[in-house]
């Protein structure tokens, strides 16, 4: 495992707050740690908060990007485990957004000693439809079209996806920020992460979870319907589900106060 100094550079790790309990905040696809800033003022006085960027995202060290490693979510889970090892973290509450919830689940199953519980913001174990048993939201042909757009018109792809993710009724500023975040990622890296995100199926892992989990589900989410939240609640051995009357897939950005309150009630 890399030393702490290497990890700080590799994953752009930042540690803020001085609380006894540690939160490890993990961003979603196409994002970086800045997306958590709306929640931080309420968390810093109470917790030690560890922020990072997956290799290939944000201000991580792109020299460490390995296409084979990051062709699956297991590679991103290794980032999480390396951070925990290098910083000697213990009893961590892993707080993930979107695909990071499966990344955190993989990491917590592989090395349960680092974690105490999981907080999942808009999770989905699989974005594909497998009718009639499971509706993840997308047909494979739909995703193929999306990836074709990614190849032909990367900026157009980002401008299409951003309002779908944030929620079209939210501020143009937030939508523009997310679109800009997509565009700032190297297209080759973004496509590899997108494939690992949208074509994966980790439903089988849910029953293997070794830690309690809290699920925050948006009532109107184009990427993860309420049925997915109910599915995960049934499959995870020890889970709670909080349905938030809200639009969009980024509750930590659009409804940070609600997520903060639910998070603090759960962790404390």
Report residue 250 as tokens. Answer: 């980024």
Instruction: Enumerate the β-bridge partners of residue 96.
Output: 26, 120
Q: Which residue has the tokens 């808009």?
A: 122
98 is an active site residue: yes
| Phi, psi of 40, deg, nearest 5 | -60, -40
Of 57, 98, 181, 200, catalytic: 98
Report residue 124 as tokens. Answer: 């989905």
Angle 26-32-36 from CA coordinates, rounded to 5°: 65
Distance CA 77, CA 167 (A): 28
Query: Distance between terminal CA atoms of the chain?
Result: 31
Of 170, 200, 221, 252, catalytic: 221
Active site residues: 98, 221, 249
């Amino acid at each position: 495992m890399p030393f702490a100094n290497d990890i700080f550079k590799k994953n752009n790790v930042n540690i803020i707050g001085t609380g006894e309990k540690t939160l490890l905040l993990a961003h979603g696809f196409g994002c970086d740690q800045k997306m958590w800033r709306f929640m931080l003022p309420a968390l810093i006085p109470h917790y030690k908060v560890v922020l990072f960027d997956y290799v290939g995202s944000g201000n991580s060290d792109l020299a460490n990007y390995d296409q084979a490693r990051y062709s699956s979510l297991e590679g991103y889970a290794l980032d999480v485990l390396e951070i925990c090892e290098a910083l000697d973290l213990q009893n961590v509450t892993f707080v993930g957004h979107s695909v990071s919830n499966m990344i955190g689940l993989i990491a917590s199953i592989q090395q349960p000693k680092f974690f105490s519980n999981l907080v999942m913001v808009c999770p989905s174990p699989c974005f594909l439809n497998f009718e009639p048993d499971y509706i993840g939201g997308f047909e494979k042909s739909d995703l193929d079209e999306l990836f074709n757009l990614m190849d032909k018109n990367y900026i157009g792809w980002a401008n299409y996806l951003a309002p779908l993710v944030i929620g079209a009724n939210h501020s143009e500023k937030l939508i523009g920020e997310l679109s800009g975040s997509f565009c700032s990622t190297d297209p080759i890296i973004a496509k590899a992460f997108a494939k690992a995100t949208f074509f994966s199926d980790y439903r089988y892992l849910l029953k293997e979870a070794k830690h309690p989990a809290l699920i925050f589900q948006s009532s109107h989410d184009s990427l993860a319907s309420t049925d997915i939240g109910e599915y995960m609640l049934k499959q995870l051995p020890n889970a709670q589900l909080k349905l938030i009357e809200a639009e969009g897939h980024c509750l930590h950005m659009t409804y940070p106060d609600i997520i903060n309150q639910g998070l603090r009630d759960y962790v404390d």
